[in-house]
């Protein structure tokens, strides 16, 4: 059948050299027991030579026509490489089938113009009559790519890509559109939307209304991104986040830059170095921390000087201990800050007493600040507390009665450990 059809087409196409008139080429063959006749003819009119056509007739019905200019017409669904037409049930008019490794359709363009290339175009009019235009409407589908796989019996949908109207076309040169990508989850043959690109050039993954250039949503929160930070939006109605993952030896970096400085500042984590860096990369850059409603609390300038603009430094690791036995009995308190309550100190005017504080939080190079928080009544002496003999794991507190009378009262002493360096 393929050979005969090829011969007939060759003969039909050759008739254009014969001049005006009708030329018929017919043959018959047994097709499943029924004789089918194919007839080819050329028609020419002296008044309109451009109307020359070649027709292929099956039982006198016109199923294929080609004009003198090369334009072709098939009257019904057509198969290339197949006669079963598995995909035609969806309304398609052409099916290409092959058992080759990479079957398909090739569109080739041979041109010296850079912009020229093979084109696959989908056209949609809102009118039911072929050739008649009617404007399409908001959300109307324009084109559709469907991907199906065999389940052993029939073909089921795995994924689709569709183009639709994404706005209200108003006529010439106004056709807002979107692309929607759908995939079928495991256990289903019904693709659901995974991603879309809107007419505003916004990409939404997990959302049909992307609020920025890229909007990834695992669940709607109802929040709207700030206009100054809506280029990339990550949304989740539970716990959410963004991960930057590297090998252990490499660093993960979030870089902030500008037109004149690709990396003005950055946040860097390195696993092998056990180091998180928050850094500026300009010589005069400073780092500020703000709390409350954008109120600056701390600033580190380019000279590494730290300014505390408001509030106070608070050490969270605090504790308290009470001395027993005597004013020179040592105490133990393993915290970065705390209060020590002495026994009643019986010190004459100008007399000193010293005791040791054992503290595992203390390093030899640390600075210990102590002060007298409270002491006995006004009739007692005046205790002044100082720190001395700082060592790894301990320091000493000296109490001097600087008053003119004897001190015979409980003294409450506060201390704080400030980390230091020997170099």
* The token pair that represents 226 in the structure block: 């700030």
Residue 72 burial (CB < 10 Å; 0-12/13-18/19+)?
A: exposed
Tell me, yes or no, whether 199 and 230 share the same domain. yes
Q: Specify whether the CB–CB gap between 406 and 377 falls below 8 A.
A: no
- Do residues 148 and 219 both lie within one domain? yes
Radius of gyration, CA atoms only, the chain: 44
Q: Specify if 379 maps to a domain.
A: yes
Place of tokens 């209200």: 168
Two structure tokens written together for 96? 């290409």
In a domain, 388, yes or no: yes
Q: Which residues pair with 64 in a beta bridge?
A: 56, 74
Are residues 55 and 40 in contact, defined by beta-carbon separation less than 8 angstroms?
Answer: yes
- DSSP annotation of 326 reads S
Q: Is residue 94 part of a domain?
A: no
Q: Are residues 222 and 187 in the same domain?
A: yes
Question: pLDDT (tens digit, 0 to 9) for every residue of the chain, 423 residues total?
Answer: 443 444 444 444 444 444 444 444 444 444 444 444 444 544 444 444 445 566 665 655 666 676 666 677 676 777 777 777 765 556 677 777 878 887 788 888 999 999 999 888 999 999 999 899 999 999 999 999 999 999 999 899 999 999 999 999 987 889 999 999 999 999 999 999 999 999 999 999 999 999 999 999 999 999 999 999 999 999 999 999 999 999 999 999 999 999 999 999 999 999 999 999 999 999 899 999 999 898 999 999 999 999 988 777 777 788 999 999 999 999 999 999 999 999 987 888 899 999 999 999 999 999 999 999 998 765 678 899 999 999 999 999 999 999 888 888 899 999 999 988 765
Q: Which domain holds residue 348?
A: 318-418
Which tokens in the block code for residue 202? 């916004």
Question: Structure pTM?
Answer: 0.70
> Which helix or strand (DSSP H or E) is residue 6 part of?
helix 2-14
As for how many domains the chain has, the answer is 5
Contact indicator for 317, 301 with CB cutoff of 8 Å: no
Q: Are residues 183 and 231 in the same domain?
A: yes
In a domain, residue 131? The reply is: no
Residue 345's domain is classified under what CATH number? 2.60.40.2080
């Amino acid at each position: 059948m393929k050979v005969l059809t090829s011969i007939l087409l060759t003969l039909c196409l050759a008739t254009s050299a014969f001049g005006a008139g009708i030329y018929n080429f017919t043959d018959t063959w047994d097709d499943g027991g029924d004789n089918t006749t194919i007839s080819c003819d050329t028609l020419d009119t002296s008044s309109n030579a451009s109307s020359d056509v070649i027709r292929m007739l099956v039982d006198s019905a016109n199923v294929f026509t080609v004009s003198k200019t090369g334009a072709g017409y098939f009257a019904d669904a057509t198969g290339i490489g197949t006669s079963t037409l598995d995909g035609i049930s969806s309304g398609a008019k052409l099916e290409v089938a092959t058992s080759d490794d990479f079957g398909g359709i090739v569109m080739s363009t041979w041109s010296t113009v850079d912009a020229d290339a093979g084109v696959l175009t989908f056209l949609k009019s809102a009118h039911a009559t072929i050739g008649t235009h009617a404007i399409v409407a908001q959300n109307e589908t324009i084109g559709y790519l469907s991907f199906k796989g065999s389940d052993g019996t029939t073909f089921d949908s795995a994924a689709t890509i569709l183009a639709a109207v994404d706005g209200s076309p108003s006529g010439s040169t106004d056709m807002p559109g979107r692309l929607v990508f759908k995939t079928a989850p495991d256990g289903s043959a019904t693709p659901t939307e995974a991603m879309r690109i809107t007419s505003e050039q916004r990409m939404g993954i997990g959302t049909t209304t992307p609020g920025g250039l890229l909007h990834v949503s695992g669940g709607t929160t109802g929040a709207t991104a700030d206009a100054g930070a809506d280029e990339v939006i990550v949304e989740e109605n539970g716990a959410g986040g963004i991960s930057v993952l590297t090998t252990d030896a490499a660093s993960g970096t979030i870089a902030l830059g500008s037109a004149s400085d690709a990396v003005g500042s950055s946040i860097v984590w390195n696993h092998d170095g056990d180091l998180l860096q928050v850094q500026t990369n300009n010589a005069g850059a400073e780092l500020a921390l703000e709390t409350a409603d954008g109120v600056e609390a701390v600033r580190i300038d380019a000279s590494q000087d730290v300014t505390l603009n408001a509030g106070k430094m608070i050490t969270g690791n605090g504790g308290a201990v009470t001395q027993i036995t005597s004013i020179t009995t040592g105490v133990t308190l393993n915290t970065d800050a705390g209060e020590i309550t002495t026994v009643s100190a019986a010190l004459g005017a100008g007399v000193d007493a010293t005791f040791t504080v054992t503290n595992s939080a203390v390093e030899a190079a640390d600075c210990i600040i102590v002060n007298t928080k409270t002491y006995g009544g006004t009739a007692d002496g005046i205790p002044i507390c100082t720190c001395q003999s700082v060592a790894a794991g301990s320091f000493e507190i000296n109490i001097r009665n600087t008053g003119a009378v004897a001190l015979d009262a409980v003294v409450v002493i506060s201390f704080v450990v400030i980390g230091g360096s020997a170099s």
